[in-house]
């Protein structure tokens, strides 16, 4: 089953999570514009061309060694793109590392929480058992709030980029 794991369309009360495609690049370049988004995650606003190249690489879907699957969804609300969620899934293990970004204009309305919850529920259904992890800059309070909303807790461990590792408070036994 794991070899065929692919992002699928997910719907929530308010949002649609569309599997990422290169065709999302132009609209997402507008969603990801500005500087605030990059305060804790680094980098800068991509052009549509850069984003198209990135999305083409991401939609390959697996790492070269085929140990990981990359699942990406564009968050859509009322027919427009507002952000994305992603999961890096171990093919032969329980760990799915998740992340979320919502365009500045669309933040503070629960979109990241709703989208990430739906993604995690999908992962639990499609690729059990699931141990959810996330890497969050210690000062990134909105992202920490989203992680808490998902039931993740901070571990106190920092990675090489200075981001703290968060994980399920009750990881599944395999």
Alpha helix (H) ranges present in the chain? 25-31, 48-58, 111-126, 141-149
Identify the CA nearest to 56 among candidates 68, 48, 45, 44.
48
Binding of ligand COA at residue 95 (CB under 6 A)? no
Per-residue burial over 59-75, b if 16 or more Cβ lie within 10 Å, else e, is: bebeeeeeebbbbbbbb
Per-residue burial over 102-131, b if 16 or more Cβ lie within 10 Å, else e, is: bbeebbeeebbbbbbbbbbebbeebbeebb
Out of 62, 95, 133, 149, the residue judged to bind ligand COA by CB under 6 A: 149
Stretch of 8-16, 53-61, 141-149, 154-162 contacting ligand COA, by CB under 6 A: 141-149
CB 102 within 8 A of CB 109: no
Binding of ligand COA at residue 101 (CB under 6 A)? yes
78 versus 173: smaller Cβ distance to ligand COA: 78
Stretch of 4-12, 37-45, 52-60, 117-125 contacting ligand COA, by CB under 6 A: 37-45
How many residues bind to ligand COA according to rule CB under 6 A? 22
52 versus 102: smaller Cβ distance to ligand COA: 102
Around Cβ 133, how many Cβ atoms within 10 Å?
A: 17
The C-alpha atoms of residue 120 and residue 156 are separated, in whole angstroms, by: 22
61 versus 110: smaller Cβ distance to ligand COA: 110
Binding of ligand COA at residue 94 (CB under 6 A)? no
CB 116 within 8 A of CB 85: yes
Binding of ligand COA at residue 88 (CB under 6 A)? no
Question: Would you give the binding string for ligand COA spanning residues 54-83, x where CB under 6 A is met?
Answer: ------------------------------
50 versus 128: smaller Cβ distance to ligand COA: 50
* Chain contacts with ligand COA (rule: CB under 6 A): 37, 40-41, 99-102, 107-113, 136, 140-143, 145-146, 149
């Amino acid at each position: 089953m794991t070899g065929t794991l692919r992002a699928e369309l997910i719907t929530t009360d308010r949002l649609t999570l569309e599997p990422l495609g290169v065709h999302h690049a132009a609209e997402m370049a507008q969603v990801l514009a500005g500087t605030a988004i990059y305060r804790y995650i680094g980098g800068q606003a991509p052009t549509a061309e850069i984003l198209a190249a990135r999305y083409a690489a991401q939609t390959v879907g697996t790492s070269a060694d085929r140990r990981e699957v990359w699942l990406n969804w564009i968050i859509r609300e009322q027919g427009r793109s507002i952000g994305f969620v992603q999961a890096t899934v171990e093919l032969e293990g329980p760990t799915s590392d998740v992340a979320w970004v919502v365009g500045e204009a669309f933040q503070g309305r629960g979109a990241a929480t709703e989208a990430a919850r739906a993604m995690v529920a999908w992962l639990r259904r499609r690729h059990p058992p699931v141990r959810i992890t996330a890497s969050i800059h210690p000062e990134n309070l909105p992202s920490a709030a989203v992680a808490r909303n998902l039931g993740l807790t901070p571990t106190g461990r920092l990675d090489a980029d200075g981001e703290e590792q968060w994980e399920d408070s009750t990881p599944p036994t395999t």
